Amino acid sequence: MAPAQCGGTGVTERLRFAPSPTGKLHLGNARTALVNWLVARGCGGSLNLRVEDTDENRNVEGAEQRIFEDLRWLGIDWDEGPDVGGGRGPYRQSDRRLRHQEVVAELLASGAGYYCFEDVGDVRVARTAASETGQPFEWPGRAIDPQDARARVAAGEPAVVRFRAPSDPVRFLDGLRGETGVAAGQIGDFVIARADRSPTYQLAVVADDHDMAVTHVIRGQDHLSNTPGQVALYSALGWEVPRFTHLPLVLGEDRSRLSKRHGATSVAAMRERGVLGEALANYLVLLGWAPPDDDEVLDASAMIGAFDLAGLSPTNVVFDQDKLEWLSQQHMQRLSPDALCTRAAPFFEEAGTPLGAGPDELAWWQEALQLFAPAAHRLEELPAHAAPLFWEPADSPRPAIDGDLAGAMGRFAAAAAAGELDTEDGFRNAARAIGKATGLRGRGLFHPLRELITGQDMGAELARLIPLIQAGSRLAVRPAVLSVEARLAVALAAR
Ligand code: GLU
């Protein structure tokens, strides 16, 4: 059965994500994009991307491309948008200015719009003062004869266009809240066109959603207060109202709205820290929603198959970095060795240990990453886990060893030089024999060995790490990998 969010009426669901190119894509907006994508894909509908760039003062150079890149990194694709064309574009709001002006003209002609010559700020102050003292408020401009107003505008007098808000209550259905809206008189006569004739967001969003035949508007709860005015505009224009759903907010741990104050909250920052895109998408879908069978680790097709808008909790959700990192770890373990290498490569490049180009080097790196990945939560952590491969004892002198321990280490060095530690089994056999011969075993044997060859007192399993070091020492990886026998020689020379 199709989820409740799909109409089942023969109408194709058309969804849209409408970012403003004013900065980075933040987690809250990324979640809005993801939910729109899941509903579109789950219903077999379309997702359109529309860049809301009408507020020219706030547009940031390059932000649009970065948002597209972040969306793709999350695994979100779209069917229509400024970079793919498609159906009912153009998909950059600024390209639609003439159409917006046409809609404003339509509202002026029907009387649902009117010119207002008063300063916008002054009107706001007067309205606030009236509401504080309980006085009725007369919107300046409402009473001016439309013909006179047109003549004043034609003569060059600056004016904004306001929407004559209805005096009745405005009600609409919200996907999570049910019927909601505002009481009579709550919507003010908001501005639909500025004095320079540019449309405001309220006008442009309604015109665009209508013209693009959008059936579902899913956006953040921060837009809930805009919706009654938009619903009133739809009615004034005689247009069908889309289905609205307002997603609860994403909060920081202190329960205030997630913002820069809470640290890294942009999609780009998560990518730079080496969180996997599919893990972040998986995390975002779990904010306020639980999959029907308890498995929380979901790939894209599992999310599409299981997600149901109606199952989303209407309460705000708190961002949990630990849970995100856990999911990132889970997704990292699901990557093929090859894919893990490809994803990790930029982080190793950055750390100064680039993943070599030759096939032998790449195969070695794949094995290395399989060893270290289970302990890492993010790709960025991998180079540190792999650092023992490149450790050089000469860089940090170890205390001298002697007696039985020196004997045991000498035997390990000899076994290493003879190629006996090249495999897991070889290492285990050698360790057993050396234990027998020296009377040292368990921690007493392996702890010093680990320290002498890696400089660390814990880490990956020696039976896998040591053959890896040996194999690396024979390859042209950079920096060079020192063999186990060479590492031990330094320790033994210090006696
Ligand atoms: N451009 C708006 C924003 O970035 C979205 C408006 C909408 O979805 O209706 O918040």
Q: Which of 20-34, 81-95, 473-487 has the lowest mean pLDDT?
A: 81-95
92 vs 357 pLDDT, higher one: 92
Cβ of 219 closer than 6 Å to ligand 1, yes or no, is yes
Closest CA to 389 of 479, 493, 476, 457: 479
Cβ of 36 closer than 6 Å to ligand 1, yes or no, is no
Counting atoms of ligand 1 from 1, which one is nearest the CA of 222?
Answer: 10
The CATH number corresponding to 335-385 among 1.10.8.70, 2.70.98.10, 2.60.120.860, 1.10.287.1770 equals 1.10.8.70
pLDDT tens track for 344-361: 999 999 999 999 778 999
pLDDT of residue 495 exceeding 60: no
Question: Residues 6 or more apart from 247 whose CB is under 8 A from it?
Answer: 31, 32, 35, 176, 218, 219, 220, 221, 288, 312
1 vs 268 pLDDT, higher one: 268
Are the C-beta atoms of 280 and 74 separated by less than 8 Å? yes
What pLDDT sits at residue 493?
Answer: 84
Beta bridge partners of 51: 92
Distance CA 249, CA 265 (A): 13
pLDDT tens track for 423-459: 999 999 999 999 999 999 899 999 999 999 999 989 9
Q: The tokens of 441 are what?
A: 């075993």
Q: Which sequence spans correspond to the domains of the chain?
A: 14-91+250-318, 93-247, 335-385, 403-493
**d(CA 93, ligand 1 centre) in Å:** 12
**d(CA 223, ligand 1 centre) in Å:** 7
Tell me the catalytic residues. Answer: 260
Give whole-number Cα distances, 230 to 21, 33, 159, 226, 398, in Å: 22, 21, 22, 6, 72
Q: Which of 32-46, 141-155, 253-267, 461-475 has the lowest mean pLDDT?
A: 253-267
**d(CA 90, ligand 1 centre) in Å:** 17
Neighbours of 59 (CB within 10 A): 17
The CATH number corresponding to 14-91+250-318 among 3.10.180.10, 3.40.50.620, 3.20.20.70, 3.90.1150.170 equals 3.40.50.620
**d(CA 19, ligand 1 centre) in Å:** 6
What pLDDT sits at residue 468?
Answer: 98
Mapping DSSP to helix (H, G, I), strand (E, B) and coil, where does residue 164 land? coil
- Give the distance between the most distant pair of CA atoms in the chain: 109
Distance CA 53, CA 47 (A): 19
pLDDT tens track for 133-153: 989 899 999 999 999 999 999
Cβ of 52 closer than 6 Å to ligand 1, yes or no, is yes
Distance CA 226, CA 334 (A): 43
93-247 shares the fold of 14-91+250-318: yes
pLDDT tens track for 277-291: 999 999 999 999 999
Average pLDDT, the chain: 93
Give the mean model confidence (pLDDT) for residues 179-195.
95
DSSP 8-state secondary structure symbol assigned to residue 390: G
pLDDT tens track for 8-50: 667 789 999 999 999 999 999 999 999 999 999 999 999 999 9
Distance CA 51, CA 34 (A): 16
Counting atoms of ligand 1 from 1, which one is nearest the CA of 32?
Answer: 8
Distance CA 258, CA 254 (A): 9
Q: The domain 93-247: what is its CATH number?
A: 3.40.50.620
What pLDDT sits at residue 394?
Answer: 78
